[in-house]
Structure 1
Amino acid sequence: MIAAGRLDRRINIQRVTEGRDPTYGAVTETWADWKTGVPAGLTQSTGREFLNVDQPVSERRKLFLIRYIADLTFRDRVVFESANYDIKDIREIGRRRFQEVQCEATA
């Protein structure tokens, strides 16, 4: 059993929405808040820097524990402390009671 006190952080989950550019009529994609103030536990936070084709690269990963959200997908993203994180993995914990959401910071 996971204690509710472990969910001591708040995250927002955003989803891509489509709209039309009013000037040219082109379809545009933007991020919109889908779930706000989601209770979460930050169970792991890692970061590293390395060279990729002689260019410095910074990688930040976070692992969040949240209550189960049935329609959470890899196309969604997490916003935590004003930073955006792409969802890389979603793992069910305890028969749809909780989820571990592994994220990586966007560039």
Structure 2
Amino acid sequence: MIHPLLASTVIVAADATQQQYNQDGSPTGSPGIMGFIITLILGIGIILLMLDMTRRARRLRYRNEYAMAREAEERARALQEQEGSVSVTTADDLKNLALKSETRENFHL
């Protein structure tokens, strides 16, 4: 419940404020057309930044996967040189051999 004096004060204050307009017809205090254009430019910039960061994150993930595959191949080649008798011909064989060596190393820890 609102006190009657407070209610009458709010009504008088609302009636006393007059709406003023800018030269372009927008209400005073409104950002107007320039505010819309600046907001639009910022929005487009943020979207482009998000797309760029997504592309960079994807590229970083691909580089990490490639580095891990290269490391697995190097481990397999090193293991092949140590054992000497194993013949490895494909990249899949190298990866499988590297995974076997990793599991051996993990059990020795």
Structure number with the higher strand fraction is 1
- Using structure 2 for the length normalisation, give the TM-score: 0.19
Structure number with the higher helix fraction is 2
Which of structures 1 and 2 has the bigger CA Rg? 2
Greater RCO (Cα-Cα under 8 Å, separation 6 or more) = 1
